[in-house]
Every structure is written in structure tokens, then in C-alpha cells.
Copies of this chain bind each other. A is one copy, B any other.
């Protein structure tokens, strides 16, 4: 990569990180492009050389941050020695929940914006961009030799939606209970969902 190319990548990354910091701290709607470029130390016009608008940068960030989340969880999973697929999924969910607990603004950002469409895109059209990591986990989980799930996509969809929507309320507002109280019920329900999809 030439020096110029590198410089460009740095500008782009700087804008992405500035936008993320602002989106999570003051919300997307209260973040202006002026805010982003000011934090990045570049000129206003420069923004438009890299991104179409605020929502363009948001979409890129969601995919990137969500993927980092999964990657981290998966790296921990590898270290842990778990053979059972049920336990593996629970482990992943638990790890991700814990990451959210440590960074609540990330949870607010992801939950409000993460849609199944983003996972779907990642599964159908796996990007070689290292940012998109989810596909790896997905394929590994469903291509087990000894376990077969009926409609694994629906199963995954159910789990993701249940986890993300319940955690939002429990972690951010402790409603109806705090996350630690919620976990036993949540994990049981995840297991039920998986059993329901066993061949």
C-alpha cells in the first residue's frame, strides 16, 4: 500500500472512529457531520470524499462493531474447551452479553440499529473484509458432523432477536429485572429454541 493509500485509509478510519464515539455518546440524530469532521480534524468537504452521508457511516459502523463483538466472543470460545453445541451457543451469548455490560453505549448503538439483514448479508455474501466475521461462526456451528438443525437460519434469527431485544431493556434499564436475574430464563429459552430445531 502506497503512502498515499495509507494516508487515505487513516483519514477514513479516523472519521469512522470519531463518528462512533459521537453516535454512542450523544446519539445519531444529535450528531452532525460538523461534529464528526471536527473530532477527526479534517475539513468538512473531506467527509463527502469518503462517505455519502451520516447513515452511510452508521451502517458501516454497525457491521464493523458487531463483527468485532462476535470475533472476540469466538476467540474466547476457542480457548474454552467446550464440545457440546448447546453449551457453545450459550457461551457465545453469555460472552457477548458481558461485553455489552462493559460497554453499554455500544449496546445502545448496536441494538437500535442491528437488523437481521446485516447478518443475512454476512451469511449470503461473505465479505473478504476482515471486519465481517460472523459468517465464520455461523457456518462452523451448523456444519457439525453429528448435529443437524432444521431451518438453522430461523433458529439463529430467533435467538439473536430474543437476546438482543431482551438484553437492551435488562442491561440498560434493569427492566423488568437486571441482566443477571434474566440470564437463567434467557439461557433456558435459547436451549428450548435449539431443541425445537433439532432434526
Point out residues on A near B: beta carbons under 8 Å: 29, 115-117, 120, 151, 153-155, 157-158, 161-162, 164-166, 169, 173, 175-177, 181-182, 185-186, 188-189, 192-193, 196-197
Contacts and interface: CB of A to CB of B under 8 A. Distances in A.
A169 B161 contact: yes
A154 B175 contact: no
Contacts of A117: 169, 173, 175
Given A116-B169, A116-B176, A161-B169, 8 more contacts: A117-B173, A157-B175, A158-B189, A165-B165, A188-B196, A189-B189, A192-B193, A192-B196
B154 A176 contact: yes
Given A120-B176, A176-B153, A176-B154, A193 B182 contact: no
Contacts of A120: 175-176
A166 B161 CA distance: 6
Minimum-distance CB pairs A-B, first 10: A192-B192, A161-B165, A165-B165, A116-B169, A153-B176, A157-B176, A161-B166, A162-B162, A116-B175, A188-B196
A158 B185 contact: yes
